[in-house]
Amino acid sequence: MQANQTMIQTGTHKTMRAHNFSAGPAVMPLLVLEQIQAELLNYAGHGMSVMEMSHRSAQFEDILQRVEADLRTLLNIPEAYSILFLQGGAHLQFTMLPTNLLPAGASWSVSRRFTSSKWKPGMAVGCAVSARSHPSSATG
C-alpha cells in the first residue's frame, strides 16, 4: 500500500482508496461517492443523471440555487456578491484577471514558465507590464 492510499471497509468488503493531493479534484468522502453512485442513473427521481440534464432545465436550476445558497451559508458570502460557476481552471483565471483589472492597470510578477506564458493575455486587452522576470522564465 502506497502512502497516499488507505484500506477502507465498505459494506461487506474492503477496498483500496487513493488520495489525490495534487491541484484540481481532491479526496471526497466515501458517503458522498456512494450517494453519487446511487443517484447516477436517476437523480432525485427525475429519470436521468445530472450529467444528462439540460443546464437550462428547472431541475438543474434547482441544483444551482441550492449550491449557491449552501456556498453563501458555508462561506458567509453576502447577497451583494455574485457567485459565478465557471469552467477553465487557472488558464481561464489568467485571462479573466487582465480583462477585469486592466482598466485600473495591472502588473505581473513573472516568476517561472507558467506565469511567463500567462501574463500575455493582458497584452490583448490593454497594457500588461511584467514587474519582475525570473532568470529562468521564458520571457527572460
Please write the tens of the pLDDT for every residue from 20-41.
Answer: 777 666 778 888 888 888 899 9
Is the model's pLDDT at 83 over the cut of 60? Answer: yes
The answer to whether position 34 is within a domain reads yes
Which domain does 49 fall in, by range?
5-75
> Are 33 and 70 part of one and the same domain?
yes
Higher pLDDT, 100 or 77: 77
Please state the pTM of the whole predicted model: 0.58
Q: CB 123: neighbour CB atoms within 10 A? A: 13
What is the per-residue pLDDT across 97-127, written as a single tens digit (0 to 9) for each?
Answer: 767 766 666 666 666 666 666 666 666 666 5
122 and 116 Cβ atoms separated by less than 8 Å: no
Quote the cell numbers at residue 33: 461517492
> Are 102 and 57 part of one and the same domain?
no
Is the model's pLDDT at 138 over the cut of 60? Answer: no
> Are 104 and 48 part of one and the same domain?
no
Task: Report how far residue 66's alpha carbon sits from residue 85's, in angstroms, rounded to the nearest whole number.
Answer: 13
Q: Nearest 5°: CA angle at 106, between 105 and 110?
A: 160
> Are 95 and 56 part of one and the same domain?
no
The answer to whether position 66 is within a domain reads yes
**Strand 13-18 versus strand 5-10 pairing type:** antiparallel
> Are 66 and 14 part of one and the same domain?
yes
> Are 71 and 94 part of one and the same domain?
no
> Are 97 and 36 part of one and the same domain?
no
